[in-house]
A and B are shown apart, each in its own frame.
Chain A
Amino acid sequence: MSAGRRRALVGLGIGLALADSSVVTLALPDILRQFDVEIPQVAWVLTAYNLGLALAAVPAAYAARRRPRAAYALGTVVFAASSLLCGLAPSFGVLVGARCVQALGGALLVCAALDLLTAIDGSDARAVRTWAMAGVVGAALGPAAGGILTETLGWESIFLVQAPLALLTLVALVGLRATSVRGPAGRPHVPANLALLLISGALTAALFLLVLLLVDGWRIDPAVAGVIVTVLPAAAIVTGRFAHRFGASRARAASGAVLIAGGLGALGVLPGSDWRWTVAPQVLVGVGLGLSLSALTERALEGRSPQAVHGGWTIAARHAGVVIGLLLLTPIFTTALDTNENRALRAGAAAVLDSSIPPLEKLGLAQDVLAIVRAADREVPDVREAFVDRPRDEAYRTLEATLVDELDRAVTAAFSRPFLLAALLALAALLPIAWSRGKVSV
């Protein structure tokens, strides 16, 4: 088998494992409904995987460096088997448990892949570039791929599809010799890993909250939302191809962090509740992602041995960042949603009482809307349900549009604070990036 094919297969494995940190983002509303859980709980489908990766990455990397082929094979089989279990999970608890096991397999697979790529390419630098780029592409494409699969085949298909794909990558091992790496591992590159943690925490907002805003907040079809959020990975992939022309790794990382902060800041001050406003911020975040993640990963690995162990540290840092982002931003969002929803509800009630629908319908409709909002309980309510059994004349249509607009504006504003906080996380990454000056030749 040619080196190119082997590289593509191993890259696919890395992409699948790292895409899993965000692939279910668009499926969360469906999972939430199917298992009757709330937003803070459903976020554990993401958190469990990322936490598992963060905790398992470094031990997995130590294990992988001794027998990279066997570690990759074992990791892939565990990853594939637990993916199947996720797809067939009979309860929410089983799904979260299977996600933890999936993370263990993913950690072994991703860390071992770095040594395999070195064996395939015969060059540490090239292996690191491929490894980093496969991770960026996987993480960035995850939400879009997951959204399209959820809408066409159901959320379970996300996991059922990736199991055979993961197993397919084992073909790359046939006839491949990867030597074990012995000897003590040096200290991890703290500034680069800290910056990776902060950037990844910020990116959580872009990948998780943006999807939630589109699907749950603005009620955009998940498949359409999947297409909308492809802007971000497309920008990341295009940028990744030319990233090396933007200068040394530290400059790329700093520029990327600023662009991510700018994109997230813009998402925090969206002028309207229309998906088109998200395009420019997505481009900025995507370009920033393409510049910073690969640059920081290369910086964390540059001149350090063994590669797999330091690769493990970058995976741990990235996914610890995602977990911190989820744990930090989700409660801020749900609290803001509660507050804004109550304010919007009062404004909506005023709209109902002042509307031109038949007077004796007003109290009933206002209270039906209240019942829907109360029943939504920390989810975004769909006030259109109150109009399902009511006449479709002009007065009702106008009122429905007014209420939907009122709620849309409230929901959009509820996302503002977590996006702005995420922007601050991205800006905070500039500190370790500046601190890393002179630590590694660039």
Chain B
Amino acid sequence: MKTLAFLVSCLVAAALVATYVALGGTSYEPTPVANPCAPRPHHEPTGNDERIELVVLAAADAAACRLGVSREELVLALRSVDELDRLAAKEGKSRDELEQALRDGLVRAVTQAQDEDLIGGTTAGALRFAAEHLPLGLLLDLLRRGSSLLG
């Protein structure tokens, strides 16, 4: 009786754990994020908002690829200069490296958007100027409020 009760307990406990494992109980993985260095599926923008989105996201992809982080991490870090510094520290980069990657990424994305006729030459020129010359805080503010880029 003693041994039987113990064996039944072992069996019941093992059966429940095995069932939960079989149902995927140990398989937690966050939804994977895309590689920023790999090309994204082509998407035809339908308005100015989507054009701006494509430029900003392409800029984030280019900068993230160069920094070796995900686009999502970089986008979340665009919230403020402090968040950017936090990301730089985490990745072992300097603020200058991160800032340069952002500026270069935006210039590259603007050039690409201009080549694909997503934005006009004047807008592209203004954006390039902003990317190269605006102080970082102001540039981040512009990226956050993308609508102001097209007026």
Contact = CB atoms under 8 A, between A and B. Distances in A.
A and B form one complex: yes
B76 A345 contact: yes
Interface of B: 1-3, 5-6, 8-10, 12-14, 16-17, 20-21, 23-26, 28, 30-34, 49-50, 52-53, 56-57, 70-73, 75-76, 78-79, 83, 143-147
A254 B6 contact: yes
Given A269-B17, A346-B33, A370-B76, A262 B146 contact: no
A124 interface: no
A352 B5 CA distance: 53
Given A251-B5, A258-B6, A363-B56, A344 B30 contact: yes
11 contacts: A252-B5, A254-B6, A255-B5, A259-B13, A262-B14, A345-B76, A349-B33, A350-B31, A360-B52, A360-B147, A370-B76
Contact of A353 (B3, B24, B57): B57
Nearest to B70: A346
Interface in A359-395: 359-360, 362-364, 366-367, 370-371
Contact of B10 (A258, A270, A349, A363): A258
A275 B134 CA distance: 52
A255 B9 contact: yes
Nearest to A363: B144
Greatest chain B CB density within 10 A among A250, A362, A412 is at A362
Contacts of B10: 258
Contact of B28 (A256, A367, A409): A409
B12 A347 contact: no
A410 interface: yes
A257 B78 CA distance: 51
Q: Which secondary structure dominates where chain B touches chain A?
A: helix
Greatest chain A CB density within 10 A among B20, B32, B79 is at B20
B30 A410 contact: yes
Contacts of B83: 370
B32 to A, nearest CB: 7
Q: Which secondary structure dominates where chain A touches chain B?
A: helix
Interface of A: 246-248, 250-252, 254-256, 258-259, 261-263, 265-266, 269-272, 277, 280-281, 284, 288, 340, 343-347, 349-351, 353, 358-360, 362-364, 366-367, 370-371, 406, 409-410, 412-413, 416
Nearest to B60: A353
Contacts of B57: 353
A284 B17 CA distance: 11
A367 B147 contact: no
A350 B12 contact: no
B30 A347 contact: yes
Given A272-B24, A370-B83, 15 more contacts: A248-B2, A258-B10, A259-B9, A261-B13, A262-B16, A266-B20, A271-B25, A347-B30, A349-B72, A350-B34, A366-B75, A366-B76, A406-B30, A409-B30, A416-B28
Given A258-B10, A263-B13, A270 B20 contact: yes
A413 B17 CA distance: 15
Nearest to B27: A271
Given A263-B13, A280-B16, A284-B13, A353 B71 contact: yes
Query: Which 5 pairs, one residue from A and one from B, show the smallest C-beta to C-beta distance?
Result: A262-B13, A269-B25, A359-B53, A413-B28, A349-B72
Contacts of B28: 340, 409-410, 412-413, 416
Given A359-B50, A367-B144, A269 B20 contact: yes
Contact of B2 (A247, A259, A412, A413): A247
A409 B21 CA distance: 15
B25 A363 contact: no
A343 B70 CA distance: 11
Contact of A360 (B17, B33, B34, B53): B53
Contacts of B26: 269, 416
A254 B70 CA distance: 50
Nearest to B40: A354
Given A346-B33, A347-B30, A409-B28, A266 B16 contact: yes
Nearest to A346: B72
Nearest to B24: A271
A383 to B, nearest CB: 13
A266 B17 contact: yes
Contacts of B71: 350, 353
B12 to A, nearest CB: 7
B75 A284 contact: no
A371 B83 CA distance: 10
B31 A347 contact: yes
Nearest to A345: B76
Given A262-B16, A284-B16, A360 B9 contact: no
A346 B23 CA distance: 26
A258 B9 contact: yes
A345 B72 CA distance: 9
Contact of B144 (A250, A340, A351, A364): A364
A343 B13 contact: no
